[in-house]
Amino acid sequence: MPQTIVESKTKTTIIGFDQPFCVIGERINPTGRKALAAQLEAGDFCTVEKDALEQVACGAAMLDVNAGVVFHSNPNPNETEPPLMRKMIRMIQEIVDVPLCIDSSVPDALEAGLEVCGGRPLVNSITGEEERLEAILPLIKKYNVPVVAISNDDTGISEDPEVRFQVARRIVERAADFGISAHDIIVDPLAMPVGAVPTACLQVFELVRRLRRELGVNTTCGASNVSFGLPNRQGLTAAFLPIAIASGMTSAIMNPIRDQEMEAVRAADLLCNNDANAAVWIKANKPATTVTAKGRRRRRAG
Amino acid sequence: MPQTIVESKTKTTIIGFDQPFCVIGERINPTGRKALAAQLEAGDFCTVEKDALEQVACGAAMLDVNAGVVFHSNPNPNETEPPLMRKMIRMIQEIVDVPLCIDSSVPDALEAGLEVCGGRPLVNSITGEEERLEAILPLIKKYNVPVVAISNDDTGISEDPEVRFQVARRIVERAADFGISAHDIIVDPLAMPVGAVPTACLQVFELVRRLRRELGVNTTCGASNVSFGLPNRQGLTAAFLPIAIASGMTSAIMNPIRDQEMEAVRAADLLCNNDANAAVWIKANKPATTVTAKGRRRRRAG
């Protein structure tokens, strides 16, 4: 069974079918976060620091790091993003010990991150687009790191799951030409919003099974996509994740601060026999011990 | 695709692969409920009434009715259960309009329930035990009703899912000898506690897929069994149900009063394309409209 090995300077995480689901914290990303974007342009990393510590405390096994800010002072990300990514990666790996996921659409920012990142980070991402493959695969080979492969190509994102599967297959084949093995490719089969495409999730579940069976690759997705445009997005994601996990999905880029979704992941790990002796479940659901005014310990009702 | 049709006097519910998941309310059952048992012996049906109304209000599509009390005044259920079942069924079908599930280990209590129940109730249950098959299958045929078939037999409950599958197959074949079709058999593949059998849920998910594919039957289970002995049972059940539904399970006997589990069922219906236009999900997650002291309508934050 394929295992994708990711590492920080001190910690190894294995992504694989017989492993606990790998939660990749999505919070360190200025997209849609104006305050964070302004902070990053000003060189203020206090929110990044808080997000890093909090996500790891909530159980993230990895952290995604995205430096995609368009600076007001210089609107060219090709110039601003690489040094920002370098700073962010350096800072984050000093305060947390989980492996990182270097996330950028700017190839130079990916390389800047790879230069300073200890261990074996994950790169996010390649697609089936020719230009992207040519730019990123040599980096993946040079640094010997795993990569997220999103199953769209130069023709865009297909609504046909068969096309998305074939795009993934081509990426795996192209990577093989560079000497990169399938176990270092983590395919994102693209979960579309179920509110727009009623069969979107059924497609993803089936794609995950095929990707596992036929290509032997690990898989991931942006878990919150499926609920886009619908109310109670957490409630939907908390049902999506267990089905995805039981279908063979091995990681997701998601928000570990959300209790309901993390509980769903822990429950699915247990139900799918990836939590030996229910140890993680029992620990996460221990009644809290509180100290009363009289100094006696009391158990809160569960 | 097989459809199991259940009916009250006024309402039809279809259990099937392309239907919303059928939640069968489990609450009307004196097992382990001393106060309810005492009330039933005293002829007091106030809790039954409350449980019936509340479960339907919470979204139960059917109600299980179990009259299994051992009376202090007469410890023979063969004498006390049939008249009690008759009274309970009569009372419940006067106050709610959902189809009922007549649940007893006493064949005469099943027949008493069948005599007074309007529409097309579900009978709970047969097993592969010879005596049980001989006693109940003629009733099923006579009243032309569907039945829950639990996959254990005279040798007990097997931990081997292959054995449980073969027991289910034999029950379906025996029923066919009586002229009962597979679409009127709802197999319970027996979900064991995952705390005791780490592969219990994986077995159930695989069994549900096989039962659907190879025998063409609907399936059900006692959803809370899987979490027996573990903390935060609702959290586990809320992850179990979506996976079971995506595997093809079409109903469960469960507690509809529990929000988290019902939300998981609604979410799974939507994710599995059994909630057209997300209508049920959106309705269930509408921000509540409250009337303030000044009489203006206000939306509560979602």
Choose the closest CB to A194 out of B264, B270, B287: B270
Whether complex ipTM tops 0.85: yes
Confidence tier at A277 by pLDDT (50, 70, 90): very high
List residues bridging with A63 in a β-sheet: A25, A100
Burial level of A269, CB count in 10 A (0-12/13-18/19+)? buried
| Distance, CA of B11 to CA of B39 (rounded, Å) | 29
Q: What is the mean pLDDT of residues B221-236?
A: 96
Please say if the pLDDT value at position A301 is more than 50: no
DSSP A43-105: T--HHHHHHHHHHHHTT-SEEEEE-----SS---HHHHHHHHHHHHHHHHHHH--S-EEEE-S
Task: For residue range B245-256, list pLDDT tens digits in order.
Answer: 999 999 999 999
Tokens representing A188 are: 């994102």
Which of the residue ranges A256-270, B247-261, B281-295 would you say has the lowest mean pLDDT?
B281-295
3-state secondary structure A25-43: ECCCCCCCCHHHHHHHHCC
The torsion angle over the Cα atoms of residues B178, B182, B209 and B199, rounded to 10 degrees, is: -30
Q: What is the mean pLDDT of residues A50-62?
A: 98
B100-103 and A297-299 strand pairing: unpaired
The pLDDT score that the predictor gives to residue A289 is 58
Closest C-alpha to A89, from A34, A32, A145: A145
Q: Report the percentage of chain A scoring pLDDT > 70.
A: 95
Interface contact A286-B231, CB threshold 8 A: yes
* Average pLDDT score over chain B: 94
Interface contact B271-A302, CB threshold 8 A: no
Q: What is the mean pLDDT of residues B113-140?
A: 97
3-state secondary structure of A22: strand
Confidence tier at A290 by pLDDT (50, 70, 90): low
Please say if the pLDDT value at position B121 is more than 60: yes
Please say if the pLDDT value at position A2 is more than 90: no
**Contacts with B278 from chain A: Cβ below 8 Å:** 194-195, 230
The pLDDT score that the predictor gives to residue A250 is 98
Tokens representing A142 are: 């040079």
Chains A & B: contacts with CB separation below 8 Å: 116
The pLDDT score that the predictor gives to residue A302 is 36
B32 close to A (CB below 8 A): no
The pLDDT score that the predictor gives to residue B289 is 59
Question: How far apart, in Å, do the first and last CA atoms of chain A sit?
Answer: 38
Task: For residue range A142-163, list pLDDT tens digits in order.
Answer: 999 999 999 999 999 998 999 9
| Distance, CA of A173 to CA of A215 (rounded, Å) | 10
A289-291 and A297-299 strand pairing: antiparallel
**Contacts with B282 from chain A: Cβ below 8 Å:** 230-231
Closest C-alpha to B273, from A272, A187, A192: A192
The pLDDT score that the predictor gives to residue A19 is 97
Range 252-291 of B in CB contact (< 8 A) with A? 263-264, 267-268, 270-273, 276, 278, 281-282, 285-287
Structural contact between residues A264 and A239, judged by C-beta atoms closer than 8 angstroms: yes
Q: Report the percentage of chain A scoring pLDDT > 90.
A: 93
How many angstroms away from the CA of B60 is the closest CA of chain A? 19
Q: What is the mean pLDDT of residues A223-243?
A: 97
DSSP A143-207: HT--EEEES-BTTB--S-HHHHHHHHHHHHHHHHHTT--GGGEEEE-----TTT-TTHHHHHHHH
**Contacts with B270 from chain A: Cβ below 8 Å:** 194, 230, 236
**Contacts with A198 from chain B: Cβ below 8 Å:** 273, 276
Interface contact A271-B198, CB threshold 8 A: no
The pLDDT score that the predictor gives to residue B287 is 81
List residues bridging with A251 in a β-sheet: A22
Choose the closest CB to B199 out of A198, A235, A273: A273
Choose the closest CB to A271 out of B240, B272, B302: B240
Task: For residue range B179-208, list pLDDT tens digits in order.
Answer: 999 999 999 999 999 999 999 999 999 999
Please say if the pLDDT value at position A300 is more than 60: no
Interface contact A267-B236, CB threshold 8 A: yes
Query: What is the spatial order of strands in the sheet that B122-127 belongs to?
Result: B218-219, B185-188, B147-150, B122-127, B100-103, B62-66, B22-25, B251-254
Q: What is the mean pLDDT of residues B39-50?
A: 97
Which residues, other chains included, contact A68 with Cβ-Cβ below 8 Å and sequence gap of 6+? A29, A30, A31, A77, A81, A103, A104, A105, A106
Tokens representing B201 are: 């849920």
Please, where are the H alpha helices in chain B? 34-41, 46-57, 77-95, 107-116, 130-143, 161-177, 200-210, 233-247, 259-271, 279-284
Choose the closest CB to A236 out of B232, B240, B267: B267
Tokens representing A50 are: 């808080």
How many angstroms away from the CA of A239 is the closest CA of chain B? 6
Question: Residue B222 has what DSSP assignment?
Answer: B
**Contacts with B272 from chain A: Cβ below 8 Å:** 201-202
Please say if the pLDDT value at position A280 is more than 80: yes
The pLDDT score that the predictor gives to residue B73 is 93
Which of the residue ranges A234-243, A286-295, B15-24 would you say has the lowest mean pLDDT?
A286-295
- Location of structure tokens 């034999």: B170
Within 10 angstroms of residue A257's Cβ, the number of other Cβ atoms is 17
Within 10 angstroms of residue B275's Cβ, the number of other Cβ atoms is 22
| Distance, CA of B52 to CA of B111 (rounded, Å) | 21
The pLDDT score that the predictor gives to residue A100 is 98
Please say if the pLDDT value at position A298 is more than 60: no
The pLDDT score that the predictor gives to residue B295 is 47
Residue of B nearest to A202 (CA): B272
| Distance, CA of A248 to CA of A207 (rounded, Å) | 10
Residue of A nearest to B287 (CA): A231
Question: Residue B288 has what DSSP assignment?
Answer: P
Structural contact between residues B246 and B264, judged by C-beta atoms closer than 8 angstroms: no
B299 close to A (CB below 8 A): no
Burial level of A199, CB count in 10 A (0-12/13-18/19+)? middle
Confidence tier at B290 by pLDDT (50, 70, 90): low
Choose the closest CB to B230 out of A239, A264, A278: A278
Distance of CA B113 to the CA centre of its chain: 16
Please say if the pLDDT value at position B106 is more than 90: yes
Longest dimension (CA), chain A: 69
Which among A259, A270, A283, A285 is the top mutation candidate for probing chain B, defined by the most B β-carbons within 10 Å of its own β-carbon?
Answer: A270
Task: For residue range A163-219, list pLDDT tens digits in order.
Answer: 999 999 999 999 999 999 999 999 999 999 999 999 999 999 999 999 999 999 999
Range 231-250 of B in CB contact (< 8 A) with A? 231-232, 235-236, 238-240, 242-243, 245-247
